[in-house]
A and B are shown apart, each in its own frame.
Chain A
């Protein structure tokens, strides 16, 4: 079970979505897909299509246990996954 932390910009977009929740997943991509299954459309808010499959949007960053990560980065039991809305705009 990963300890997932979401940016403040996401919960207003999906009814009932908390800032922090536990998700059963083996990778970052799986964790986001699990959230999308419960809150349809969430994956589109953090990923965009690209050749070779979806990628994180340009101003979204993810970290696993404090290390910069990508969609394929594995999650271990108890991993902390931070999804960050990077400093952007004004």
Chain B
């Protein structure tokens, strides 16, 4: 049976859906959804009924606060809720936004700013706080406004273990990655071997993990794009090896792991200064097929002149078809797609609001 390929795009002014078939040659765009709210993450639950695919959107309104939106009919209708998605009135923490969202094992996880982790077991209708990681080293500094970058995301990174519902990883912005093996009751920093070019008060934390991904082909194999460098782990994050050499910049946000090849991995290097755009205004995605031993620049079909575009941490996704398709969205509203593992690219949407999140779902 022919499949449908759905790209979920989260922008500063709502969510959009693009749909194609397996060829991924022609795309139809729908949206904006979620009433033009600022979308940090839009995802599809791969475990949901294909006849009723679940889409979830973490979004924020300047007026009406944060909420998780959900649709079970590919965007035709939406509901939203933030019931329980707040810190207790006695807490010193205030929830400004939900920046991380993941679905799997019959539940939703949401990462918030100030940094905290929430879960829902009723399709996003109600939420409960799992943890604010109070016993972790450096925790006292996490939510101090003076320590935060502009647009602080709090806890934007969530990575589920496909095999074990009690095990997952989170990223606390500016402090690092943490693993739980007991559904969030206890946590262990997983930053050993990472580099930091700044003073740190604690040995295990103080690292700036931008995007953490797992190889679907080998669940012990993780990759990350860090503020300083690209890194690989062969032991599920217990130790890290830097694989930056060969890339034009150590800085970037987005990352994607090849769905079938554990040694295949993609990043989008950016200028690491204030600009944080494609180096020299020439757009490119970089690919390794040997776990980071070497890198190749992929740019066919991408603008090679005056393309000062950036891509944010959730701005790239890869599908799991036999010949995987790759997608990335820019913070200035262009969406590019490749149907051949990044070898060639086409612009499939332009003039969108700034893109924060790109996800892809293949529906059979």
Contact = CB atoms under 8 A, between A and B. Distances in A.
Contacts of A41: 80-83
Given A13-B35, A44-B83, A50 B89 contact: yes
Contacts, number: 53
A49 B88 contact: yes
B64 A9 contact: yes
Interface string A41-82: 100111011111110010110000000000000000000000
Given A41-B81, A44-B82, A9 B89 contact: no
A86 B89 contact: no
A9 B63 contact: yes
A12 interface: yes
B61 interface: yes
Interface residues of B, number: 18
B172 to A, nearest CB: 22
Contacts of A85: 63-64
A50 B88 CA distance: 8
B86 interface: yes
Interface string B31-68: 00001000000000000000000000000011111010
B90 interface: yes
A65 B322 CA distance: 65
B94 to A, nearest CB: 8
Contacts of B82: 41, 44
B86 A59 contact: no
Interface in B295-352: none
A88 B62 contact: yes
B238 to A, nearest CB: 38
A9 B61 contact: yes
A46 B67 CA distance: 12
A86 B63 contact: yes
Contact of B89 (A13, A45, A52, A59): A52
B87 interface: yes
Given A41-B82, A41-B83, A10 B64 contact: yes
Nearest to A57: B65
Report whether over half of chain A's contact residues are helix, strand or loop; otherwise say mixed. Answer: loop
B112 to A, nearest CB: 13
A7 interface: yes
A9 B65 contact: no
A89 interface: yes
Highest count of chain A CB atoms <10 Å: which of B62, B67, B83, B94 = B62
Contact of B80 (A10, A13, A50): A13
Nearest to B80: A13
Contacts of B64: 9-10, 13, 45-46, 57, 60, 85
Contacts of A44: 65, 67, 81-83
Contacts of A86: 63
A85 B37 CA distance: 14
Interface string B78-99: 0011110011111000110000
A10 B90 CA distance: 28
A60 B61 CA distance: 11
A10 B87 CA distance: 23
Contacts of B62: 59, 88-89
B65 A48 contact: yes
A40 to B, nearest CB: 8
Given A9-B35, A41-B81, A44-B83, A88 B89 contact: no
Contacts of A12: 35
Question: Which 5 interchain pairs have the tightest Cβ spacing?
Answer: A45-B64, A85-B63, A88-B62, A89-B62, A49-B89
30 contacts: A9-B35, A9-B63, A9-B64, A13-B35, A13-B64, A41-B80, A41-B83, A44-B65, A44-B67, A44-B82, A44-B83, A45-B61, A45-B65, A46-B64, A48-B86, A48-B94, A49-B86, A49-B89, A50-B89, A52-B89, A53-B89, A57-B63, A57-B64, A59-B63, A60-B63, A60-B64, A85-B63, A88-B62, A88-B63, A89-B62
Interface of B: 35, 61-65, 67, 80-83, 86-90, 94-95
Given A13-B35, A85-B63, 4 more contacts: A45-B67, A50-B89, A57-B63, A57-B64
